[in-house]
Amino acid sequence: MGRKVLIVDDVPVNRKLAVAMFGKLGWETAEAGGGHAALEWLATNSPDMVLLDISMPDLGGEEVCSALRADSAFAGLPVVAYTAHAMQVDVDRFLANGFDGVLIKPISFQALKDAVDKASHRCCRE
Protein backbone atom coordinates (compact mmCIF):
# COMPACT_ATOMS: atom_id res chain seq x y z
CA MET A 1 0.00 0.00 0.00
CA GLY A 2 1.67 3.24 -1.16
CA ARG A 3 2.07 6.23 0.96
CA LYS A 4 0.84 9.64 0.01
CA VAL A 5 2.49 12.99 0.27
CA LEU A 6 0.93 16.44 -0.17
CA ILE A 7 3.36 18.72 -1.90
CA VAL A 8 2.62 22.38 -1.32
CA ASP A 9 4.49 25.04 -3.32
CA ASP A 10 3.43 28.04 -5.26
CA VAL A 11 6.16 27.40 -7.86
CA PRO A 12 5.04 24.65 -10.25
CA VAL A 13 8.63 23.60 -11.11
CA ASN A 14 9.39 22.90 -7.49
CA ARG A 15 6.18 20.89 -7.12
CA LYS A 16 7.05 19.00 -10.22
CA LEU A 17 10.59 18.12 -8.90
CA ALA A 18 9.22 16.97 -5.62
CA VAL A 19 6.54 14.92 -7.34
CA ALA A 20 9.30 13.33 -9.49
CA MET A 21 11.50 12.51 -6.55
CA PHE A 22 8.68 11.19 -4.35
CA GLY A 23 7.58 9.26 -7.38
CA LYS A 24 10.96 7.65 -7.51
CA LEU A 25 10.54 6.72 -3.91
CA GLY A 26 7.22 5.17 -4.73
CA TRP A 27 5.01 7.65 -3.03
CA GLU A 28 1.65 8.86 -4.21
CA THR A 29 1.64 12.57 -4.55
CA ALA A 30 -0.90 15.34 -4.31
CA GLU A 31 -0.16 18.95 -5.02
CA ALA A 32 -1.36 22.24 -3.70
CA GLY A 33 -0.31 25.64 -5.16
CA GLY A 34 -0.87 27.64 -1.96
CA GLY A 35 -1.57 27.53 1.69
CA HIS A 36 -5.29 27.77 1.44
CA ALA A 37 -5.45 25.13 -1.22
CA ALA A 38 -3.34 22.86 0.98
CA LEU A 39 -5.65 23.32 3.97
CA GLU A 40 -8.71 22.76 1.80
CA TRP A 41 -7.24 19.61 0.44
CA LEU A 42 -6.20 18.42 3.84
CA ALA A 43 -9.70 19.00 5.10
CA THR A 44 -10.85 16.10 2.98
CA ASN A 45 -7.70 13.96 2.66
CA SER A 46 -5.31 12.27 5.01
CA PRO A 47 -1.80 12.09 3.49
CA ASP A 48 1.15 10.41 5.16
CA MET A 49 3.32 13.50 4.87
CA VAL A 50 3.14 17.15 3.89
CA LEU A 51 6.03 18.84 2.03
CA LEU A 52 5.38 22.48 2.74
CA ASP A 53 6.90 25.53 1.05
CA ILE A 54 7.35 28.46 3.43
CA SER A 55 7.10 31.57 1.31
CA MET A 56 3.79 31.50 -0.50
CA PRO A 57 1.69 34.46 -1.64
CA ASP A 58 -1.62 33.57 -0.08
CA LEU A 59 -0.78 31.72 3.13
CA GLY A 60 2.76 30.92 4.30
CA GLY A 61 3.99 27.48 5.19
CA GLU A 62 4.52 28.45 8.77
CA GLU A 63 0.90 29.52 9.17
CA VAL A 64 -0.25 26.33 7.52
CA CYS A 65 1.95 24.26 9.81
CA SER A 66 0.61 26.14 12.82
CA ALA A 67 -2.93 25.47 11.69
CA LEU A 68 -2.19 21.77 11.26
CA ARG A 69 -0.50 21.52 14.62
CA ALA A 70 -3.45 23.26 16.18
CA ASP A 71 -5.82 20.64 14.78
CA SER A 72 -5.76 17.32 16.62
CA ALA A 73 -7.00 15.64 13.49
CA PHE A 74 -3.51 16.03 12.07
CA ALA A 75 -1.65 14.80 15.07
CA GLY A 76 1.18 12.58 13.95
CA LEU A 77 1.23 13.94 10.38
CA PRO A 78 4.85 14.61 9.37
CA VAL A 79 5.32 18.06 7.94
CA VAL A 80 8.61 18.83 6.18
CA ALA A 81 9.55 22.36 5.23
CA TYR A 82 10.49 22.71 1.55
CA THR A 83 12.17 26.07 1.38
CA ALA A 84 14.86 28.27 -0.11
CA HIS A 85 15.41 29.95 3.31
CA ALA A 86 18.91 28.60 3.96
CA MET A 87 19.71 30.62 7.09
CA GLN A 88 20.37 28.52 10.14
CA VAL A 89 18.13 30.78 12.22
CA ASP A 90 15.24 30.07 9.87
CA VAL A 91 15.87 26.34 9.98
CA ASP A 92 15.95 26.40 13.76
CA ARG A 93 12.70 28.35 13.86
CA PHE A 94 10.93 25.92 11.57
CA LEU A 95 11.93 22.95 13.64
CA ALA A 96 10.84 24.74 16.77
CA ASN A 97 7.43 25.64 15.33
CA GLY A 98 6.15 22.20 14.47
CA PHE A 99 8.05 21.11 11.39
CA ASP A 100 9.45 17.60 11.49
CA GLY A 101 12.19 18.27 8.99
CA VAL A 102 13.59 20.91 6.67
CA LEU A 103 14.58 20.46 3.06
CA ILE A 104 16.58 23.39 1.79
CA LYS A 105 16.35 24.19 -1.86
CA PRO A 106 18.11 23.23 -4.05
CA ILE A 107 17.49 19.69 -3.01
CA SER A 108 19.13 16.48 -4.09
CA PHE A 109 17.39 13.20 -4.25
CA GLN A 110 19.51 11.91 -1.44
CA ALA A 111 18.64 14.88 0.72
CA LEU A 112 14.96 14.31 0.12
CA LYS A 113 15.22 10.64 0.89
CA ASP A 114 17.08 11.38 4.15
CA ALA A 115 14.60 14.05 5.15
CA VAL A 116 11.62 11.79 4.44
CA ASP A 117 13.13 8.96 6.40
CA LYS A 118 14.00 11.18 9.26
CA ALA A 119 10.68 12.96 9.37
CA SER A 120 8.73 9.73 9.12
CA HIS A 121 10.79 8.24 11.79
CA ARG A 122 10.51 11.25 14.02
CA CYS A 123 6.85 11.72 13.41
CA CYS A 124 5.64 8.19 13.50
CA ARG A 125 7.82 6.39 15.86
CA GLU A 126 4.97 5.31 17.97
Burial status of residue 100 (CB atoms within 10 A of its CB: 0-12, 13-18, 19 or more):
buried
Whichever of 40 and 109 has its CB closer to other proteins, that residue is: 109
CB contact at 8 A, 80 and 56: no
| Residue 24 interacting with other proteins (CB under 8 A) | yes
Interface segment toward other proteins; rule CB under 8 A; list 26-34, 36-44, 104-112, 118-126: 104-112
| Residue 29 interacting with other proteins (CB under 8 A) | no
CB contact at 8 A, 10 and 34: yes
The binder of other proteins chosen from 30, 67, 91, 107 (CB under 8 A): 107
* Minimum distance from residue 62 beta carbon to other proteins (Å): 14
